[in-house]
Structure 1
Amino acid sequence: MRGERDVQEAGEAGEAAEAEPAVAEATVAALRAAGCVFAEEEAALLTAAAGGDEAVLAALVARRAGGEPLEHVVGWAGFCGLRMRVGAGAFVPRRRTEFLVQEAVALAAADGRPQAVVLDLCCGVGAVGAAVAARLGAGTELHAADIDPGALAYARANTAPYGGRVYEGDLYGALPGELRGRVDVLLANAPYVPTDEIALLPSEARDHEPPVSLDGGPDGLDVHRRIAAGAPHWLAPGGRLLIETSGRQAPHTAAALQAAGLAVRTVESEEFWATVVVATRTL
């Protein structure tokens, strides 16, 4: 049942298990029977989320055993050392996307932008923007936008500690005009799964996350092309766009950004199994 988030969740759940030792073996057995690889750790998280109420715990275990993502069931996801609020119908932040955050923070520091204007486009629950703002610290001006109103309810909560301003709409059409030409760091974890490959995704994603957060069109790059075309109008001089993609698609994402007049390079991480294309407005 479990997918790419196993290692991250196991570590977080292990911490929870130390604080919540009274986990019923029946809970572990039910999760193990449902195919949960880290049944003990998940049982600890679910037990903590139930707050001692056995009826609530039974309902949570039933939801998880029925295939709902663990993060949807407990109401949060671990990301870059932070707890991000998530829930039913929301895209769950992936561990690989922590590489996008890491690269964005490093570039902002290298560029000497202590009061960076940060835009999280296709923000989902706002995890990427919130994590970057948390690391950049005071003075960061955080904006986030998405087309999914359900996700934005969580994005408002996750970005609020950093003064985030959240907008609903289709890509740049959601943004206030005052941001045009001012964005120092543009973050995009946009959908890039080809439509025909959606059926191949794990059921946790395919059945429980919104298609708009997964489906990137016939070759997976429809949204990437639209982001690339608009980026020069919103980036500040020297501003950076960082967009997550796959190793297979990276050359095509890079070509779209180059066609928009941006200077482009691709970075990869074996640790995160992640690929990020970085584009810079040089004019």
Structure 2
Amino acid sequence: MTTPRPDSGQPFGPAPAEDPLVLRLRAAGCVFAEDEARLLCEAAGDGAELEALAARRIAGEPLESVVGWAEFFGLRIAVEPGVFVPRKRSELVVREAARLAAAARAGAVVVDLCCGSGAIGAAVASVVPGIELHVADVDPVAVGVARRNMRPFAGRAHTGDLFAALPASLRGRVAVIAANAPYVPSAEIALMPPEARDYEPLAALDGGADGLDLHRRVAAGAGEWLAPGGALLIETSKHQAPTTAAILTAAGFSVRIMRDPEIGGTVAVAHR
């Protein structure tokens, strides 16, 4: 389906390479300038708004927060400035969490912890109907966005620090906990791309000295929330995976590591 350019009223597909907006985006370092120009035009209501959106993108703001959504697991996930943008690699968490939730009893409880926009929870619910979905984050701005993304799935969004955010009634009932806790070592934040470093909240990126402070806290607290046979999934990186696995093992879990090199995903899957 074509969409009219706000400044011309004419339908368009991908913006032509010689389009002035494409040239400006390319000069700013946008590798997929033609596609980005098309998305900016779709998001803008008129020429003035297009110019404002383009200026934000050229300044380095993530495209997803500029246009207000991110594509994730075939869904349009709402995002806002200052909220962590879901990454393609997290689709590995979704695939395994969905498999485990589908294998559990009907109405299984699924928790998306450190949820950001709630992308993982929404994606699981989109392929496993009937789950009882809860998402939680310490950032009230992120929780507000996650609440919007939960509406099609009757999910509930909670604000608070890890498990303290969850209703006490979930204790011992959760079939799957999926946690995309921050895991970038503090000293490596400065090495991240400016889109993340300068525009996403530090609390969603910084995992402490070795990047795994939150993994330790999640591993220590998860046991009392999981139902018998329940599973804890923690996204990690390839080089941190052995340490994440050791943390989970020390907390009493049996652990396997899953990887998907195509999307760069690594997940520790833990069972009591």
Alignment TM class, shorter chain as reference:
over 0.9
Task: Provide the residue aligned with 2:192 in structure 1.
Answer: 201
| Runs of 5+ unmatched residues, structure 2 | 5-10
2-side partners of 1:152 and 1:65: how far apart? 28
Name the residue aligned to 1:120.
Answer: 112
C-alpha distance in 2 between matches for 1:60 and 1:227: 38
Matched, 1:269 2:263: no
Deviation at 1:107, TM superposition (A): 2.5
For 1:178, the equivalent position in structure 2 comes to: 169
Q: 2:78 aligns with which of 53, 77, 85?
A: 85
- Structure-2 separation of matches of 1:248 and 1:22: 38
Q: Any stretches of 5+ residues in structure 1 without a counterpart? A: 1-13
- Give the secondary structure class of the aligned counterpart of 2:34: helix
Aligned partner of 1:6 in structure 2 is none
Give the TM-score normalised by structure 1: 0.90
Does the 8 Å CA contact 2:2/2:13 hold for their aligned counterparts? Answer: no
Offset from partner CA, 1:220-278 (integer Å, 9 cap, x none): 00000000001110000000111100111111111111111112111111111111000
Match of 2:38 in 1: 44
CA distance in 1, matches of 2:204, 2:271: 25
Helix, strand or coil: the match of 1:252?
A: helix
Is the contact between residue 147 and residue 169 of structure 1 (CA under 8 Å) also seen in structure 2?
yes
Cα deviation for residue 160 of structure 1 reads 1.3
Q: Is the 8 A contact 1:123 1:146 kept in 2?
A: yes
Q: Distance in 2 between matches of 1:269 and 1:22?
A: 30
Structure 2 counterparts to residues 89-238 of structure 1, below 5 A? 89-109=82-102, 111-137=103-129, 139-238=130-229
Q: Which amino acid aligns with 1:132?
A: V
Aligned-pair CA distance for 1:31: 0.7
Find 2:23's aligned residue among 14, 25, 29.
29
In the alignment, which residue of structure 2 is the partner of 1:63?
A: 56
What is the CA RMSD across the aligned residues, in angstroms? 1.7
TM-score, with structure 2 as normaliser: 0.93
Q: Secondary structure at the match of 1:233?
A: coil
Counterpart-to-counterpart distance in 2, 1:177 and 1:21: 50
Q: Secondary structure at the match of 1:192?
A: coil
Deviations, residues 141-194 of structure 1 (Å, cap 9, x unaligned): 000110001111110000111111111110011111100000001000000000
SS state at 2:61 partner: coil
**How many Å separate the matches in 2 of 1:279 and 1:16?**
46
TM-aligned CA deviation for residue 114 of structure 1: 3.3
The whole-number CA distance in structure 2 between the counterparts of 1:225 and 1:191 is: 12
Aligned sequence identity (%): 61
